[in-house]
């Protein structure tokens, strides 16, 4: 039986998480039932065993958001090759999403094949996508979630700055390689100024390992070792 002090600590932790209103990196993505342009779905269950990118946009029928959806759509096959799905979100009705994607296809000849969540504001508020001073519009949030439903990366952009979808695609690939090989990815990978396409060896935890790694790998020092990617 829990003591009153232990219960208070647990209660405080739960209250803090509820007040935070946003899952952090390393947290389990919350289970949410959503209405989308592809019907009702339950996140993250619908993408079980897959990576997925959930991204919010301020509103349908707006210029920056339109360019972003075209960019995501043109890279959708590349995301799918990484076993990664896309799902958008804004505080708009399903019919608005449908008319907007219809306009994009008819006028820009680009088909939006991934679902878009029609939110009342509840989901966006839960995920911290609505910031003070932005009324009911969401900022440009990005959540990358892995096949175990763990949040692995979060990016926020203001409404006036469109996202770089190649960077989001790069981040998914980098996370997958880091997981598979137990390595770390340098800045700008795979075009890093110091080591090019090579990957970094995580820093050692003890002196013995530090000495061994300095002999095993190319390095600038024992804490900055790197190697060719073995794919």
Query: What does the pLDDT read at residue 68?
Result: 98
Query: What does the pLDDT read at residue 18?
Result: 45
Say how many C-beta atoms besides its own lie within 10 A of residue 118's C-beta: 21
What is the domain range of residue 230? 182-231
CATH of the domain at 208: 3.30.1020.10
Structural domain includes residue 10: no
Task: Give mean pLDDT, residues 84-100.
Answer: 97
Residue 202 has pLDDT above 80, yes or no: yes
**CA–CA separation, 22 and 44 (whole Å):** 15
Q: Is 65 tagged catalytic?
A: yes
Structural domain includes residue 6: no
CATH of the domain at 78: 3.40.30.10
- Cα–Cα distance list, 213 to 52, 65, 202, 208 (Å): 35, 47, 10, 9
Predicted confidence (pLDDT) per residue in 33-50, tens digit: 999 999 999 999 999 999
Looking at the structure, tell me whether residues 118 and 213 fall in a common domain.
no
Looking at the structure, tell me whether residues 118 and 39 fall in a common domain.
yes
Q: What pTM, to 2 d.p., does this model score? A: 0.88
Looking at the structure, tell me whether residues 151 and 213 fall in a common domain.
no
Looking at the structure, tell me whether residues 37 and 64 fall in a common domain.
yes
Structural domain includes residue 168: no
Nearest partner of 69 among 85, 78, 84, 56, judged by Cα: 56
Query: What does the pLDDT read at residue 4?
Result: 44
Structural domain includes residue 154: yes
The one catalytic residue in 34, 43, 54, 65 is 65
**CA–CA separation, 178 and 184 (whole Å):** 6
* Triad 169, 172, 176: Cα angle to 5°: 140
Number of domains in the chain: 2
Looking at the structure, tell me whether residues 152 and 218 fall in a common domain.
no
Predicted confidence (pLDDT) per residue in 95-141, tens digit: 999 999 999 999 999 999 999 999 999 999 999 898 776 666 788 99
Task: Give mean pLDDT, residues 185-210.
Answer: 95
């Amino acid at each position: 039986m829990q003591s009153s002090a232990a219960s208070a600590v647990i209660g405080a932790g739960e209250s803090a998480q509820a007040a935070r209103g946003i899952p952090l990196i390393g947290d389990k993505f919350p289970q949410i039932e959503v209405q989308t342009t592809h019907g009702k779905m339950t996140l993250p269950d619908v993408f079980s065993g897959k990576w997925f990118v959930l991204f919010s946009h301020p509103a349908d029928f707006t210029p920056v958001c339109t360019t972003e959806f075209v960019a995501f759509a043109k890279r959708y096959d590349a995301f799918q090759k990484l076993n990664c799905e896309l799902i958008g979100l804004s505080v708009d009705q399903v019919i608005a999403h449908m008319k907007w994607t219809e306009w994009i296809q008819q006028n820009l000849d680009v088909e939006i094949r991934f679902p878009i969540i029609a939110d009342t504001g509840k989901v966006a508020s839960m995920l911290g996508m609505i910031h003070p001073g932005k009324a009911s519009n969401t900022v440009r949030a990005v959540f990358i979630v892995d096949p175990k439903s763990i949040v692995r990366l979060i990016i926020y952009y203001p409404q006036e700055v469109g996202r770089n979808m190649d960077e989001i695609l790069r981040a998914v690939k980098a996370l997958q390689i880091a997981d598979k090989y137990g390595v770390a990815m340098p800045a700008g990978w795979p075009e890093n100024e110091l080591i090019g396409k090579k990957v970094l060896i995580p820093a050692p935890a003890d002196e013995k390992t530090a000495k061994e790694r300095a002999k095993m790998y190319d390095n600038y020092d024992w804490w900055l070792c790197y190697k060719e990617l073995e794919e």
